Amino acid sequence: MNLKPLLFLYLSVLTFFYSSCKKNTDPPIKIVVDSVKVVPPGRFLHGIFIVHEGQFGFGNSSISYFNPDSSLIMNDLFTTINNRSLGDVAQSISYFNGKFYIVVNNSNKIEIVDQNFYSTGVITNMIELPRYMLKINNKKAYVSQWGSSGKGNIAIIDSATNSVINRIPLGFGPEKMILYNNFVYVCNEGGFTNDSIISVIDISTDKVVTSIKVGYNPTCIQIDKNNKIWVLCKGMWKSDWSSLDKKGSLVQLDPIDNTVKSTIELSSAYTQPESLGLNQSKDKLIFNYDSKVYELSITSSLPEVKINHSFYKLGVNPANGDVYATDTKDFKSSGWLFRYNKLYLKVDSFKVSILPGEIMFN
């Protein structure tokens, strides 16, 4: 699909609004702080980003930008603007110190773009199969990575130099992370083998302070309104792959004493859960499982089917509670982005690019 007409249309609309806004409001102010010119926010600062993994080895990963108000979608943003491939298997995107950091798993790199999506740099040194990035403070961010030789680690990115300053060794397949009260909770999702540990890192020392055993292969993590941590565990296959030896589960942790409070086992012995979201009021968990979207109230132990559609990843817009989910189709033609409101009624759907995965709200 040719994106140029779309981009042109979008830019013209944007320019029109931007210039008309400017006329009606105050004259442009140039603030000079430490002789650094503060530029107006870039055109992609606010919006929803869909990270497309693309086909493994084909280098056709991409980023789509979606504006939920205008319902305008722009596919293949990075390549359209920078005229080169984003790389092989883009995993996630994070906003850190005014820039977007795109974690490209199989290219072993993190691409940095500004708010207009112009490429400004890349981090490659000490990056090995990176997965997700989490802002710790304005000085540093953590990147979970599977590592190229067995065990994974957390790479610490220094914002001043945009380079890896240290690595914290972890278990197999470090995946998603959350920050709570000076501690980072990291899922060790198993990587190329199996694991069942949540590692807890003290951000002041960058050291692992404790390890919590949860269900097998914990992959996603959220924190609810009562400050309880929820971990989605995928479960573990039998060695002959005939069925799940350990089924998927949802595990509740209490960060006060770092212990498991409850475990809710999922029913199927043949499929694994994927992608954990939290509703706007942070009292309901939403996840993909068994070709459906389930909801689990934090006070219940019985997940309910809410959407009867097989999705790959999902995300909840913190602004209004809309649920977004990606459908990968046959993994080689265009995927789709579906939007539901907070009552799980379908709003609309959009054709995106090959193999859409994670959804990020900024």
Partner 1 sequence: MNRFVWMVFCFVHTIIVSGQNQKGISDTIFQIPEVLFSVNRIDNFSTGNKVQRIDSALLSSYSTTNLGQALSACTGIQINSYGTGLSSVSLRGTGSSHTAVIWNGLNIQDVLNGGVDFSLIPTGFFDNIKVQYGGNGALFGSGCIGGAIHLNNTLDFNRGVNASFRTAYGSYGHFYEGLNLSYSNKLFSGYIKAYYNKAKNDYKFRNTEEFETPTQTLHHADYSEYGVLAGAAVKINDRNIFETSFWYLNNDKNVGQTMVASNLSNNQNQSYRTSTTWKYRLNSLNINIRSGFVDNVLFYNPFNSNLPNSKHQSLSLVNEAELTFKPNENHLINFGFSYTFEKGISTNLSNNAHRNRISMFSSYRFSSNNTKWVIVTSFREESMNKMVTPLTFTFGIERQITPLLRVKGKVSKNYRIPTLNDLNWNFDGFARGNPDLKSESGFGQDLGIVFNKQFQTFTLGYECSGYSNIVNGWILWHPNADNIWTPDNVSKVWARGIEQDLSFKFTFSRLTIKPSASYSYTRSTKIVADIPDDDAFHKQLIYIPIHKAGFKMFMEYDGFSFYYGQNFMGNRYTLVNNSKYVNAFSVGDISLSKVITIRNQQVNFTFLMNNVWNTVYQVMQYYPMPFRNYQISIQLNFK
Among 130, 171, 191, 215, binds partner 1 (CB under 8 A): 191
Question: Binding pattern to partner 1, positions 289-328, x when CB under 8 A?
Answer: --x------------------x-----------------x
Instruction: Name which of 1 and 209 has its Cβ closer to partner 1.
Output: 1
Among 1, 11, 160, 165, binds partner 1 (CB under 8 A): 1
Among 6, 7, 43, 58, binds partner 1 (CB under 8 A): 58
Stretch that binds partner 1, among 33-41, 64-72, 177-185, 234-242 (CB under 8 A): 234-242
Is 70 among the residues that bind partner 1 (CB under 8 A)?
A: no
Stretch that binds partner 1, among 21-29, 35-43, 55-63, 206-214 (CB under 8 A): 55-63
Contact 337, 64 (CB under 8 A): yes
Is 189 among the residues that bind partner 1 (CB under 8 A)?
A: no
Is 107 among the residues that bind partner 1 (CB under 8 A)?
A: yes
Instruction: Name which of 94 and 334 has its Cβ closer to partner 1.
Output: 334
Is 116 among the residues that bind partner 1 (CB under 8 A)?
A: no
Instruction: Name which of 272 and 279 has its Cβ closer to partner 1.
Output: 272
Is 242 among the residues that bind partner 1 (CB under 8 A)?
A: yes
Nearest approach in angstroms of CB 105 to partner 1 is 9
Among 101, 146, 230, 289, binds partner 1 (CB under 8 A): 146
CB atoms within 10 A of CB 336: 15
Nearest approach in angstroms of CB 121 to partner 1 is 7
Stretch that binds partner 1, among 31-39, 177-185, 233-241, 253-261 (CB under 8 A): 233-241
Whole-angstrom distance, CA of residue 243 vs CA of residue 235: 10
Whole-angstrom distance, CA of residue 211 vs CA of residue 188: 10
Among 121, 158, 169, 301, binds partner 1 (CB under 8 A): 121
Nearest approach in angstroms of CB 237 to partner 1 is 5
Strand partners, 130: 145
What torsion do the CA atoms of 4, 5, 11, 13 make, to the nearest 10 degrees?
A: -170
Among 8, 18, 331, 344, binds partner 1 (CB under 8 A): 331
Backbone torsions φ then ψ of 77, nearest 5 degrees: -60, -50
Question: Binding pattern to partner 1, positions 151-180, x when CB under 8 A?
Answer: ------------------------------
Q: Which residues bind partner 1 (CB under 8 A)?
A: 1-2, 57-60, 84-85, 87-89, 106-108, 111, 119, 121-122, 146-150, 191-192, 237, 240-242, 270-271, 291, 310, 328-334, 351, 354
